[in-house]
C-alpha cells in the first residue's frame, strides 16, 4: 500500500506538470491559469451542491430506519472529488469532475462494492453433483 501511495505522489505531479506545460504551450499561459481557477470555482460549487443533496438523502434514509451506507460512500467520493477539483491541474480536475457527476459516482461505488464483495467471499471448490461410492442392499 505504501509503495502505491509513493508511486501516486510521484507520478501525479509529474503528469500534472506535463499537462500544464503542454496545454499552456498550446493555448497560452493566461488561458491555462483561467481554466485552473475556473475549475476550482466550479468544483467548490459542485462540492457544495452534491454534498447537501447527499446529506439530505442520508438523513431521509436514517428517518426511515435504513443505514445510509451508499450515501456515506457517495460522501467520500464527493469530498475527494471536491479536493481534486480544488487542486491545480488538469488530471486531478478530470478525476474530481468524474467523482462529482452523480451517475458516474454511482457506477464507481457499485464497481467498488462488487470488487470488495468478491474479494471477501472465499472461492468455492468445484463441487460435482455426482456422488461416488459403493452401496449394499439389505433386505429385512
CB distance 46 to 99 below 8 Å: no
Amino acid 46: pLDDT = 87
Q: What are the tens digits of pLDDT across the range 46-90?
A: 889 999 999 999 999 999 988 888 999 999 999 999 889 888 889
Whether 70 is covered by a domain: the verdict is yes
Q: How many whole angstroms separate alpha carbon 106 and alpha carbon 111?
A: 9
> Which tens digits make up the pLDDT trace of 83-111?
898 888 899 999 999 999 999 999 999 99
For the chain, report the end-to-end CA distance as a whole number of angstroms. 68
In this prediction the pTM is: 0.75
Summarize pLDDT for 11-45 with one digit per residue, the tens. Answer: 999 999 999 999 999 999 999 999 999 988 888 88
Instruction: Answer whether residue 128 is part of any domain.
Output: no
Q: Of 81, 94, 91, which Cα lies nearest the Cα of 48?
A: 81
Name residue, grid cell 488561458.
Answer: 31
| Domain assignment present for 62 | yes
Instruction: For residue 32, give its domain range.
Output: 15-112
Q: DSSP per residue over 7-39, as a string?
A: HHHHHHHHHHHHHHHHHHHHH-HHHHHHHHHHH
Q: Is the CB of residue 69 less than 8 Å from the CB of residue 52?
A: no
* Structural domains counted in the chain: 1
Distance CA 42, CA 46 (A): 6
Mean pLDDT of the chain: 87
Cβ atoms of residues 44 and 97 within 8 Å: no
* 34 assigned to some structural domain: yes
Amino acid at each position: 500500500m505504501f509503495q502505491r501511495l509513493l508511486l501516486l505522489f510521484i507520478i501525479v505531479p509529474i503528469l500534472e506538470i506535463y499537462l500544464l506545460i503542454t496545454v499552456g504551450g498550446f493555448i497560452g499561459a493566461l488561458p491555462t491559469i483561467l481554466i485552473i481557477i475556473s475549475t476550482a470555482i466550479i468544483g467548490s460549487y459542485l462540492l457544495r451542491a452534491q454534498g447537501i443533496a447527499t446529506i439530505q438523502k442520508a438523513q431521509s434514509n436514517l428517518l426511515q430506519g435504513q443505514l445510509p451506507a451508499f450515501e456515506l460512500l457517495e460522501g467520500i467520493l464527493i469530498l475527494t472529488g471536491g479536493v481534486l477539483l480544488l487542486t491545480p491541474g488538469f488530471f486531478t480536475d478530470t478525476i474530481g469532475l468524474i467523482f462529482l457527476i452523480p451517475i458516474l459516482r454511482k457506477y464507481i461505488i457499485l464497481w467498488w462494492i462488487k470488487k470488495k464483495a468478491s474479494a471477501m467471499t472465499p472461492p468455492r471448490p468445484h463441487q460435482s453433483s455426482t456422488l461416488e461410492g459403493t452401496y449394499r442392499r439389505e433386505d429385512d
